[in-house]
């Protein structure tokens, strides 16, 4: 469970990351919400609708990648408070089709804290079944988190 609002700098960083996620234009295309649940842990609540389907009536692979990458990315970025991370590689495993409904992507940091971080994620459907998993590597970029409007908006919301 995340600390209470304003209880420490980690909590501020986590809420700012949630603001950053919400500010990304791509997330306007999907009904989703990021929740940072602790250091190295994230959860994305995602509604898979027919707009996400391929021609055979299930979620397109791009949706799996988006959810898995985002969950792993944000789990890793909880440990980096100054820089935006970049995905340098990501491996996916699809175990079953998603026919729609609420899906939760759970991300977990695995290793690394300096230049390269490794995190994994998994997708859980409405029935509690795992439908996919992935592992990614993430590298610190030159982009300061403090230079990103969405990150700062998350901080301002916490401090208001």
**Packing angle, helices 61-77 and 9-23, rounded to 10:** 150
Cα–Cα dist 154/160, whole Å: 10
Query: Could you name the CATH architecture of 9-159?
Result: Roll (3.10)
pLDDT band at 120 (very low <50, low <70, confident <90, very high): very high
pLDDT band at 154 (very low <50, low <70, confident <90, very high): low
> pLDDT value at position 129?
97
Say whether 97 sits in a helix, a strand or coil.
Answer: coil
Q: What is the mean pLDDT of residues 1-18?
A: 73
Which is nearest to 77 in space by CA: 3, 148, 132, 159?
148
Chain centroid to Cα 20, Å, comes to 10
Q: What is the mean pLDDT of residues 53-74?
A: 96
Q: What is the mean pLDDT of residues 131-152?
A: 96
What is the pTM assigned to this prediction?
0.91
Q: Where are the domains of the chain?
A: 9-159
DSSP labels, 68-86: HHHHHHHHHHTT-SSEEEE
Which is nearest to 13 in space by CA: 159, 157, 160, 154?
154
Picking from 46-50, 103-107, 120-124, 151-155, which range would have the lowest pLDDT averaged per residue? Answer: 151-155
Q: What is the mean pLDDT of residues 24-35?
A: 93
């Amino acid at each position: 469970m995340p600390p209470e609002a304003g209880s420490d700098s980690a909590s501020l960083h986590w809420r700012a990351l949630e603001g950053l996620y919400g500010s990304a234009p791509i997330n306007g295309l999907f009904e989703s919400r990021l929740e940072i649940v602790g250091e190295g842990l994230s959860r994305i609540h995602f509604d898979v609708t027919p707009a996400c389907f391929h021609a055979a009536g299930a979620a397109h692979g791009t949706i799996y990648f988006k959810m898995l990458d985002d969950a792993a990315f944000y789990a890793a970025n909880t440990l980096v408070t100054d820089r935006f991370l970049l995905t340098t590689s990501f491996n996916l495993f699809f175990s079953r089709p998603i026919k729609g409904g609420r899906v939760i992507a759970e991300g977990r940091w695995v290793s690394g804290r300096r230049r390269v971080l490794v995190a994994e994620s998994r997708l859980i459907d409405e029935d509690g079944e795992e439908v996919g998993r992935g592992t990614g590597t993430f590298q610190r970029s030159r982009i300061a988190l403090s230079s990103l409007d969405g990150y700062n908006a998350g901080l301002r919301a916490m401090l208001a």
